[in-house]
Structure 1
């Protein structure tokens, strides 16, 4: 029976983690086990399912993403990033009107990564909070 690729990937955090590891570079089972801190028996079934579905290939002891796997992982990362960003502060996102945020920015909301709500101290309302200032100064992009 053919597996639905979406179910195969998204309903298993372990398979998702394996695919993301293989996106970085091809790996053998020992390296995958070590990086995920699991034993071989807990990933063997996952590896078999992904091989059978054409997401990964095996040459000797080395596993890598297939061409289909590369396409899927490349497209799955924005979804994962978006769900992580929105999931971290669900209460905030649900309690605020997002309609003033331009569509092109909403489409890229997953790029925010970890974010935190900074509420200014009323006594220092017109000063830039130190944590924001430090974050801007250490930013990778100007």
Structure 2
């Protein structure tokens, strides 16, 4: 009996640890996106012509744009240099909070996160590749998510 209780406690601890990092995630708004964009533009000294492209969801494959996307994703709490994308948090952000992590959208997010996790690439490039995949697969959902809040 003690063994069963210990095993059950261990299982519960693993489940809580697995979901603890994202269960308190607060879905960000369009105002948050605007603030993060401004912060990242200033931090990275992004030129005005690139800022105009970013506002149209256009991201050239250059160092400034790659690092800009990384900065914005980090500000959202969706990307970390060491860990890469937090698939669950990305799903919460795109899904509006309460989501089913076994649905098709979650699978698409996982695939894009894997695309961004190419070995040997710097963090800016990994964030850029994953973000472009998200945009390619779900740009309408991304735009709707930050515009409607």
TM-score normalised by the chain length of structure 2: 0.27
Give the number of the structure whose residues are more often helix, by fraction: 2
Higher relative contact order structure (alpha carbons within 8 Å, sequence separation ≥ 6): 2
Query: Which is richer in strand?
Result: 1
Length-normalised TM-score, structure 1: 0.28
Larger Rg: 1
